[in-house]
């Protein structure tokens, strides 16, 4: 009798649980989000997209998924962001600088020589300032699900080692398609050449450009060491990616589905930062093994970079909005323990 009573109780509990979860399950439909990136399939960014897909599946009972399209299969950052706005692609993860042509305040994240550490960047991007930027995206047909780390950017080239700030002069360097990047590197004396990332390796291989600037993880994963000899740890700029979804896709999701996407995105954000930082720690050693010569600018030469870039900082501090720039610096001061 006791066994029968227990069995009935368990059956009743199962029925009640099913009744409670049924409305939620009914609000989760089959979805597969195409996620386009310009980087290679083995880059930490791609690994994080796969983690996002796993978390989506787990949280939705297998109904929601994300499918990765790497190595520019669906276009470059600019064209894929445009596709999201038009509703022909569900997700992409462009550099934040890609968004400054749509929303000028996003540009402050790329102001040169602004961030000192990754921890500062996390505090700023996860805090009110970062959330304020993301809140500007829906008006442009985009939904921001979080900031992922690209990292501190460094310069590589195939011509000579860079030991001083003046050694950069005369190099033809590929830069992101952005006026800020153009002005930054022209101020340093280089011949800055805007170009989609997907065209960069071939351009360096064919000597159409002497070099480029990116974080170590990208330099290694993209095998730039095959066509570049010299790397200088310039740390001239911190770079963040923005995990984006098309607003048209977002608007078609139920409240439960949106919650699942947001939770999966947050878990993927933490995974991505941890993964890329671990990868970056070993990347420099791997690049040395691959034959790259790595130099580091002394503090005095780093100070010269800052002096050369003062006009750029002043110009774009105004262009991106003096109030926004001031707010950024205030939040950074808080992150550094200032008042």
**pLDDT by residue (tens digit) across 310-328?**
999 999 999 999 999 999 9
Output the pLDDT for position 22. 41
Give the whole-angstrom CA distance, residue 213 versus residue 235.
10
Closest of 115, 188, 98 to residue 151, by C-alpha: 115
Q: What are phi and psi of 113, to 5 degrees?
A: 55, 45
Residues in the chain: 339
Chain centroid to CA 263? 18
- Taking CB atoms within 8 Å and a gap of at least 24, the contacts of 56-59 are 56/260, 56/261, 56/264, 59/260, 59/263, 59/264
Number of domains composing the chain? 1
Output the pLDDT for position 41. 95
Q: What is the pLDDT of residues 171-212, one digit of tens each?
A: 999 999 889 999 999 999 999 999 999 999 999 999 999 999
Give the whole-angstrom CA distance, residue 66 versus residue 255.
18
Q: Rg of the chain over CA atoms, in angstroms?
A: 23
Q: Which domain holds residue 52?
A: 2-335
Q: Give 118's contacts (C-beta < 8 A, 6+ positions apart).
A: 149, 151, 273, 277
CATH number of the domain residue 191 falls in: 3.40.190.170
Q: Tell me the whole-structure pTM to 2 decimals.
A: 0.86
Secondary element (H or E) of residue 238: strand 230-246
Give the whole-angstrom CA distance, residue 217 versus residue 285.
11
- Enumerate residue ranges in the chain where pLDDT < 50: 1-3, 6, 17-24, 339
Output the pLDDT for position 178. 87
C-alpha distances (whole Å) from 242 to each of 79, 111, 147, 185 are 15, 16, 5, 23
Output the pLDDT for position 10. 52
């Amino acid at each position: 009798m006791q066994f029968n009573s227990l069995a009935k109780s368990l059956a009743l509990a199962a029925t009640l649980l099913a009744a409670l979860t049924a409305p939620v399950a009914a609000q989760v439909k089959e979805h597969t989000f195409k996620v386009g990136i310009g980087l290679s399939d083995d880059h930490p960014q791609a690994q994080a997209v796969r983690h996002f897909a796993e978390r989506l599946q787990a949280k939705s009972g297998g109904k929601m998924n994300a499918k990765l399209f790497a190595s520019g299969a669906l276009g470059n950052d600019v064209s894929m962001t445009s596709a999201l706005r038009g509703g022909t692609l569900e997700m992409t993860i462009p550099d934040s600088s890609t968004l400054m042509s749509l929303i000028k305040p996003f540009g402050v994240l790329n102001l040169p020589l602004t961030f000192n550490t990754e921890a500062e960047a996390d505090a700023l991007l996860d805090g009110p300032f970062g959330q304020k930027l993301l809140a500007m995206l829906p008006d442009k047909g985009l939904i921001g699900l979080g900031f992922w780390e690209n990292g501190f950017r460094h310069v590589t080239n195939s011509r000579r080692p860079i030991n001083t700030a003046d050694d950069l002069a005369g190099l033809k360097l590929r830069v992101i398609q952005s006026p800020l990047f153009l002005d930054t590197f022209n101020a340093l004396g280089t011949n800055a050449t805007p170009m989609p990332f997907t065209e960069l390796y071939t351009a360096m291989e064919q000597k159409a450009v002497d070099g480029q600037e990116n974080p170590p993880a990208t330099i290694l994963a993209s095998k730039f060491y095959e066509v570049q000899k010299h790397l200088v740890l310039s740390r001239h700029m911190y770079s963040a990616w923005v995990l984006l979804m098309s607003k048209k896709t977002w608007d078609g999701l139920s409240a439960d589905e949106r919650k699942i996407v947001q939770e999966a995105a947050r878990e993927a954000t933490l995974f991505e930062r941890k993964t890329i930082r671990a990868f970056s720690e070993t990347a420099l050693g791997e690049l040395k093994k691959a034959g790259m010569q790595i130099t580091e600018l002394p503090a005095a030469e780093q100070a010269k970079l800052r002096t050369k870039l003062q006009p750029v900082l002043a110009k774009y501090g105004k262009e991106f909005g003096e109030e926004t720039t001031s707010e950024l610096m205030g939040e950074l001061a808080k992150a550094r323990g200032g008042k």
